Amino acid sequence: MKQSSDRKPSAPPRNVDEHDVIFARMKMKPGTSDWEEYYSTHPEQSASDARARALPGLLSERATNFHPLNFPAADANFDLIEYLQKAVNHPVSDKTSDLTDEVLTHYIKGWTRYLGTHSTGITELFDYHLYTRRGRGVDKGKPIVKRHKYAIAFTVEMDYENVQSAPGSAAIFESSQQYLRSANIALQLTIFLKKLGYDSRAHIDGDYEVICPLVARDAGLGEIGRMGLLMTPLVGPRVRIAVVTTSAPLVPDPYRPDPNMIEFCRVCKKCAVCCPGNSIPAGDMQEIDGMLRWKIDSDSCYRYWCTIGTDCGRCMAVCPFSHSNNLFHNTIRFLIRQSRLFARMVYHADELFYGRKPVPKETPYWMRE
């Protein structure tokens, strides 16, 4: 389904159960009702998931890219995020603010910039933004009910040098660090809005009710590219996303389709060529659930993660849109978005300077053993 002329985002049906996300499936325990229910209705996933469970796993000492410092550091970050998830249920004040939507929106965008976000946008919360059912946490198995009108999506930038070393240990260190950073910001916003009397919820790593890339796309923060990640205008996929849904009155941002960025992804294919797990499609977009898009093989992607012990990130590292945030690369990214012809041609220059399959950089000096 192509983007319509009225500039509305393509709207897939609401049909994604969080149990279908491999992170949720990996938390299932044999012999439980959850396990029996899922694999009896999805027998095609049983063998693939068994293969993943037999591998060393994320942050395992038996993984090929094990690092005695970066792995425990990343694990500590994920543990802290899990601890912070308790703050999602902070109570709502019984006194409601009378601030206008313009004032509140302006404050939130200014505050998030102050806190160091790369970009912030607001969208109306649509049904297809939500999973149908929880697959993780204390509410596992419960249907997800839409109870908020708006969603605030924001991105935090990942460090260029750490990402360039992907799929080495610095990649998961950086990933965990930015998940933690985004969780802090999301929880600050959520508790702030609750103190103003507006029911709100932070959606952070391991505790989502929404599909973050779709929310961020509709909030005007970028497009979803070949690798299935949000492609931001200035640093491409080199970001992490968090979302806050809320009943607060806000001013939504317009959806900003970027056909030239999609055209660049269509001809570049560098992420597909460099993917160690062969998980990214090299062909054209396909209509899936009423939405024209690329669909990665998340199972083979995750199995590669479980082999090396990190969340890889090689696709993010080689993407030409992920280059340093400087005048030269910003100019190239700007021209790609202005000219379809330029978007079709410029990836050849990227290959000339950086190579079709660039070699991962060394782990930053201070992380080396």
**b/e 202-234 (16+ beta carbons within 10 angstroms → b):** bbbbbbbbbbbbbbbbbbbbbbbbbbbbbbbbb
Q: What is the pTM of this model?
A: 0.94
Q: What percent of the chain has pLDDT over 90?
A: 88
Instruction: Give the 3-state secondary structure of residue 200.
Output: strand
Is the separation of the CB atoms in 303 and 51 below 8 Å?
A: yes
The three-point CA angle 17-129-304 to 5° equals 55
Check residue 6 and give its pLDDT. 46
**Over residues 340-353, mean pLDDT:** 89
Residue 4 pLDDT greater than 70, yes or no: no
Q: Per 3-state DSSP, what percentage of the chain is helix, strand, and coil (rounded to 5)?
A: 45, 10, 45
Q: Which residues contact 197 (CB under 8 A, 6 or more apart)?
A: 92, 93, 94, 95, 96, 97
Mean pLDDT score, 275-285: 97
**Per-residue pLDDT reduced to its tens digit, 107-150:** 999 999 999 999 999 999 999 999 999 999 889 999 999 999 99
Contact 303, 161 (CB under 8 A): no
Cβ atoms of 53 and 26 closer than 8 Å: yes
pLDDT digits (tens, 9 = 90+) for 60-117: 999 999 999 999 999 999 999 999 999 999 999 999 999 999 999 999 999 999 999 9
Predicted confidence band at 16 (pLDDT cuts at 50, 70, 90)? very high
Residue 360: other Cβ atoms inside 10 A: 18
Above 70 in pLDDT, residue 5?
no
The residue among 343 and 111 whose pLDDT is bigger is: 111
pLDDT of residue 7: 54
> pLDDT digits over 206-238, tens only?
999 999 999 999 999 999 999 999 999 999 999
For residue 2, what pLDDT is reported? 35
Bigger pLDDT: 306 or 3? 306
In the chain, domain spans: 18-35+51-355
Within 13 Å and on the Cβ side, how many CA atoms surround 339? 11
For helices 70-84 and 169-195, what crossing angle results, to 10°?
A: 20
Is 97 exposed, middle or buried, given 0-12, 13-18 or 19+ CB atoms closer than 10 A?
middle
Give pLDDT, residue 8: 65
pLDDT surpassing 50 at residue 3: no
Pair 253, 123: CB distance under 8 Å: yes
